[in-house]
């Protein structure tokens, strides 16, 4: 007895779907080996990134999520808050509190980003800057050119596959 014709079709469809799924998985794995999906840049205020690095850009080539953390931004905002304080501690406290309340959103965002960056740098074990973390697994120090960091990451991934 032969199976109904439509069951044979579904069996072929399932086999084809498995092959296509395997192809997509292998292609995606090969693609991830080429380019990271996440890039975190840890810098200080005096770090000069290469001209190709657009610090305001949240992505590179629309594929890589980029986060920049200016680690010492908190210190810079604090120095602005404490500028020209008076000798009286109580009056200075009121001045600083007023300045904090009037802190622009850009400075608040800088401080929040710096705090996040400090926490992440501790988590990753980063001990010097600049540092670039790619896909939360590869750290490169001293490089200020994102394209160079991507190139080194690709070399590292190729070495792991061999």
pLDDT in the model for residue 23: 37
105/110 Cα distance (integer angstroms): 9
Q: At which residue do the structure tokens 């008076």 appear?
A: 86
Q: Is 0.75 surpassed by the pTM of this model?
A: no
Question: Of 21, 32, 4, 9, which Cα lies nearest the Cα of 157?
Answer: 32
- 60-113 residue pLDDT tens: 656 788 899 999 999 989 998 999 999 999 999 999 999 999 999 999 999 999
Q: What are phi and psi of 103, to 5 degrees?
A: -60, 130
Neighbours of 70 (CB within 10 A): 20
How far is it, in rounded angstroms, from Cα 131 to Cα 127?
A: 9
Give pLDDT, residue 92.
92
pLDDT in tens, 100-151: 999 999 999 999 999 999 999 999 999 999 999 999 989 999 998 888 998 8
């Amino acid at each position: 007895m032969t199976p109904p014709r439509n069951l044979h079709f579904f069996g072929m469809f399932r086999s084809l779907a498995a092959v296509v799924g395997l192809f997509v998985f292998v292609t995606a794995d090969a693609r991830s080996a080429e380019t990271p999906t996440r890039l975190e840049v840890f810098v200080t205020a005096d770090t000069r990134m290469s001209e190709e690095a657009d610090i305001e850009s949240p992505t590179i080539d629309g594929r890589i999520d980029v986060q920049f953390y200016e680690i010492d931004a908190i210190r810079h905002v604090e120095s602005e808050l404490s500028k020209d304080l008076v000798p009286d501690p109580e009056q200075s406290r009121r001045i600083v509190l007023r300045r904090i309340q009037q802190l622009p959103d850009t400075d608040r965002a800088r401080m929040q980003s710096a705090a996040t960056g400090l926490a992440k740098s501790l988590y990753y074990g980063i001990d010097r800057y600049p540092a670039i973390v790619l896909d939360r697994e590869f750290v490169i120090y001293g490089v200020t050119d994102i394209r160079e960091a991507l190139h080194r990451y690709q070399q590292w991934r190729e070495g792991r596959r061999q």
